[in-house]
Amino acid sequence: MLDQLVEFLRGIFTGLDIRAAIDIAVVAALAYAILGLIQGTTAVALLRGLALVFIIGAVASNLFGLTLLAWLLRNSVPALLIAIPVLFQPELRRLLEQVGRAGGIGRSAVSTNQRTIEVVASAAGRLAERNWGAIIVLERQIELGEYANTGIRIDGALSIEFLQSIFYPHSPLHDGAVIVRGDRVLAAGCVLPLAESIETGHQYGTRHRAAIGISAKTDALAVVVSEETGRISIANNGRLVSNFDDAKLRRVLPMIYRTTTAEALPDIFRRRLLPRPS
């Protein structure tokens, strides 16, 4: 038995040339990118369920000679090829957007702006002290024009006082999100997509669900201030991390607020992880 296995493996590697090696590497890179992209999302559970059904069905049909089940599994593969783009539409869309960002030569990317980070961190700290709810979305490579159109277009200079006036509890725009592009406020009072499902077990409010939703559907970064607790959170890539203050924001935001095309390239092959605050 062992000799047969060794002979089988030797036959595989003997016929392996440069072209086959490149082919395997490309397929492995694509598989790694897709798996990294869906990690931590509901697509993982869906993919795990599909794999489990096929494995159990294949084993049962072979062990017990279930001809009808074997026929059903074989003929369901073409249907799955059509269903997969529908089931994994958000993840596939994000992957294609990241590929487009990496290859977008000549597109003027929004540069990482230290002043923007300073203003957002200081404003979030002041809003947290007053328990004023807020959600500030920092645009990166994917333009957020469609979400900006749901609110009031401003295109004003970003400042601490401006953000405080927007999120003042009696302001007509305080319930919506502010979208920041570079060092300017693109729009305020914006409506964001809510996270469809949250698997952490926490009961998040609308602002936190909107922050998770916009960071899951785009590459935007969202800073949220809780109206109930004054707690500051960051949503990045569909994940939410809480218990920040303005000092921690100043340390963390420069590491994850990356906007240039060169910085977007590695995201195709590895998932952006949000550092946990110390």
pLDDT in tens, 27-72: 888 888 777 766 655 567 777 888 888 888 888 888 888 888 888 8
Residue tagged 């590895």 (tokens): 270
Angle made by CA atoms 89, 87, 238, in degrees to the nearest 5: 55
pLDDT value of position 9: 62
**Residue 181 pLDDT > 70:** yes
Q: Quote the percentage of the chain above a pLDDT of 70.
A: 74
Question: Residue 30: what pLDDT?
Answer: 82
Token reading at 26:
């490309």
Answer for the pair 179, 147: CB distance below 8 angstroms, yes or no: yes
pLDDT greater than 50 at residue 87: yes
Which domains occur in the chain, in start order?
2-102 (no CATH), 114-268 (3.40.1700.10)
Mean pLDDT score, 1-6 = 64
Mean pLDDT, all residues of the chain: 79
pTM: 0.59
Taking only the tens place, the pLDDT of each residue in 112-148 is 478 899 999 999 999 999 999 999 999 988 888 889 9
Which of the pair, 114 or 85, is modelled with greater confidence? 114
Asked if residue 263 has pLDDT above 60, the reply is no
The answer to which of 145-149, 194-198, 211-215 has the lowest mean pLDDT is: 194-198
Q: Residue 153, SS3? A: strand
Q: For residue 111, give Cα distances in angstroms to 93, 138, 181.
A: 24, 12, 10
Grade residue 13 by pLDDT with cuts at 50, 70 and 90: low
Using DSSP's 3-state secondary structure scheme, residue 64 falls into helix
Q: How far is Cα of residue 196 from the mean position of the Cα atoms in its chain?
A: 13
Q: What's the average model confidence in pLDDT over 198-223?
A: 82
Do residues 212 and 126 make contact, with C-beta atoms less than 8 angstroms apart? Answer: no
Task: Among 49-58, 159-168, 260-269, name the most confident range.
Answer: 159-168
